[in-house]
Structure 1
Amino acid sequence: MARPKTYDREEAVVKACRAFWENGFQALGVRELERLTGINQFAIRSEFGGKEGLYLEALRYYSNAAISTQMVHMKRGGIPEIVAFFQGLVASGSPTASEFGCLVVNTGIENARLKRERLEEATQNYWTALEEHFLEALSREPVFQEGGSNWKPRDLAKALVTAVMGIHAQNRAQQDKTAGRPLVDFVCGMLSEMARA
C-alpha cells in the first residue's frame, strides 16, 4: 500500500528551489533538504528520483517561471523590452534580482566541476530559450531589418546572454542584488543607441 503524501508537491518544489538557489547542489545533504522542504528522504527518492531529480524539478520550476513571466514580453516587443528585462536583473522588488544571483548561472558554475549531464542539459535549454527571446525582439528592430548595425542579431543575442550570466554572477559574488548595475547600464545604453540609429 502506497504511503499517503504528507506534503504539497508544488509547495515542496518551490521550497527546494529556494534552498538550492541559496546553497547550491552539492552543499545540501538530504537531511538538510528534508528540513528545508518538508519532504522526507523516502519521498525525495520515490517522488523525485533522489536529490538530483529534486534539483532538476526545482530548476524546471525556476526556468519556466522566468520564461513565462520575465522573458515573455520580448516575444511581442523589441529593444525596449530587452532593456526592461536587463533593468529587472538589478531592480529592487524584481523577481529576477537576487543576492543569490540566478539558479541557472549557479548551476552552470557548480556543474563545471560536477559534470552532471542532466544539469548541463537543463542549463543549456534555459540559455537557448533566453537567446531565442532576445533574437526575436532584436529581429523586429528597424536597425537590423535595414542593415544599419555592424552586429548580426544572432551574435548580439548570444552576447546579451553572456551579459546576463555576468550580471547574476556579480550579484551573487557581492551578495547584493544591485551589484551588476554597471553592466546593466552599459548594455541598456548600447541597446538604446541602437534603437535610435
Structure 2
Amino acid sequence: MARPKSYDRDDAIAKACMAFWQHGYQALGVRELERLTGLNQFAIRSEFGGKEGLYLEALRYYADAAMTEEFSPMKTGGIAEVMAFFRGLVTDGSLTSSDFGCLIVNTGIENARVQSERLDEAARAYWAALEAHFRMALERDAGQPARFDPGTLAKALVSAVMGIHAQNRAQQSNQAGRYLVDMVCANLAALEQT
C-alpha cells in the first residue's frame, strides 16, 4: 500500500516556483528545497523525477500563469495591449513584475552553464508563445499595406522583454527596466498613431 502524501502537489509546485525564482536552479540545494517546499527528497524523486523534474513543473506553472493572465489580452487586442504588457513588467502587483526578474529569463541564463535540453525546450516554448502573441496583436494594427513588419517587431520585443527582466534581476528592483519599457512604449505608440 502506497504511503499517503503529506503535501499538496499544486501548493508544492507553487512554492518550488517561488524558491527557484528567488534562488536559481543550481544555487538551490535539495535540503533547502525541502525546507522551502515542504517536500522531502523521496517525494522530489518519486513525484517529480528529481530536482530538474520539479524545476520543469515550476516552469510550467509560471508559464501557464503568465500566458493565462498576461499574454491573453494580446489574442484579441492590438498595440495598446502590447504596451500594457510592457508596462506590467515594471508595475507593482503585476504577475510579470518582480525584483527577481523572470523565471524563464533566469533559466535561460543559468542553462548556458547547466546545458539541460529539457530546460532549454521549456524556455524556448515560452519565448515562442510570447512572440506569437506579440505578432497576433501587431498584425491587427499593422494596416494594409503593412506599415511595419509584425514578425520582425515581435522578435525584437521578445529581446526587449528579456533585457527588462535581466535588468530588474541584476538591480533587484522591478523598476530597473523602466527606461527600456518607456522607450519601447513610446515607439509602439508612434506606430499606433501612423
TM-score normalised by length of structure 2: 0.98
Equivalent residue runs for 1:15-164 within 5 Å: 15-141=15-141, 144-149=142-147, 151-164=148-161
The residue type equivalent to 2:66 in the other structure is: A
Give the match's secondary structure for 2:145. Answer: coil
Bigger shift: residues 90-99 or 67-76: 90-99
Q: Which whole-Å deviations, capped at 9, do the CAs of 1:129-153 have from their partners, x for residues lacking one?
A: 0000000000101xx232352x311
Q: How many residues get paired?
A: 194
- In 2: Cα distance, 1:136 partner to 1:10 partner: 31
TM-score normalised by length of structure 1: 0.97
**Structure 1 residue 171 displacement after superposition:** 0.2
Structure 2: tracts of 5 or more residues without a match: none
Structure 1: tracts of 5 or more residues without a match: none
Give the match's secondary structure for 1:140. Answer: helix
- In 2: Cα distance, 1:102 partner to 1:89 partner: 9
Within the alignment, does 1:182 sit opposite 2:190 as a pair? Answer: no
RMSD of aligned Cα (Å): 0.7
- In 1: Cα distance, 2:71 partner to 2:168 partner: 20
The residue type equivalent to 1:79 in the other structure is: I
User: What's the counterpart of residue 190 of structure 2?
Assistant: 193
**Structure 1 residue 96 displacement after superposition:** 1.0
Q: Percent identity?
A: 65
The residue type equivalent to 1:196 in the other structure is: Q
Within the alignment, does 1:169 sit opposite 2:166 as a pair? Answer: yes
Q: Which whole-Å deviations, capped at 9, do the CAs of 1:41-81 have from their partners, x for residues lacking one?
A: 00000000000000000000000000000000000100000
The residue type equivalent to 1:147 in the other structure is: P
Q: Which whole-Å deviations, capped at 9, do the CAs of 1:87-125 have from their partners, x for residues lacking one?
A: 000011211110000000000000011110000000000
